[in-house]
Amino acid sequence: MFKNFIKHNLLAFIMLTVLFLLDRFSKFFILKLLEQDTKLDYYLNSYLNLYLIWNKGIAFGLLSFDQIKIYNIITALILIIIFIILVFIVRSKGLTKYSLVAVLAGALGNVFDRIYYSAVPDFIDFHIGEFHWFIFNIADIFISLGVFCLICAELFINKEIKENEKNY
């Protein structure tokens, strides 16, 4: 039974580890750049800057609070959601499983920062002209792509499976 569990979840664990480490490396790199300058603000091209902010809220800096109790409650809720996602990963397969792994990797990367730094370093500043999107990080990309793939799986793949089951 345990061998079967490992066999069905090994690729997911490897993917989770690689994505988590990519996020950690990107944040480590940005924080090393900050050690060299007092402010991190690098122009990369006309659409992208590296600009470090410390996010105490949730995704994309939403719901930022200064109160430590609210911050701790949000962190505890994130940890509960991480556990629920982990249960779903074990019970899922295919695109749904790996989409959830991407969400989990991003969530783990950001919750690590919330616990270790008491804030999440966001540093990717995407903009078109004067319009700037929320500043985000690699973990946020994994979460967003995972959610997008979950929506696609539900709309297209799972719908097709359910229709095929009705025909039998």
pLDDT tens by residue, 70-93: 888 888 999 999 999 999 999 999
Structural contact between residues 123 and 109, judged by C-beta atoms closer than 8 angstroms: no
- Phi–psi pair at 118, nearest 5 degrees: 65, 20
The 10s digit of each residue's pLDDT in 10-39 is: 999 999 999 999 999 999 999 988 887 767
pTM: 0.84
Structural contact between residues 43 and 49, judged by C-beta atoms closer than 8 angstroms: yes
Structural contact between residues 52 and 40, judged by C-beta atoms closer than 8 angstroms: yes
Structural contact between residues 116 and 108, judged by C-beta atoms closer than 8 angstroms: no
Catalytic residue chosen out of the listed positions 23, 113, 125, 140? 140
For 58, the 3-state DSSP assignment is coil
Is 41 a residue of the active site? no
| Residues facing residue 50 across a β-bridge | 42, 124
Is 122 a residue of the active site? yes
Q: Which of 94, 96, 87 is nearest to 8 (CA)?
A: 94
Catalytic residue chosen out of the listed positions 23, 113, 122, 125? 122
Lowest mean pLDDT among 14-23, 44-53, 67-76, 156-165: 156-165
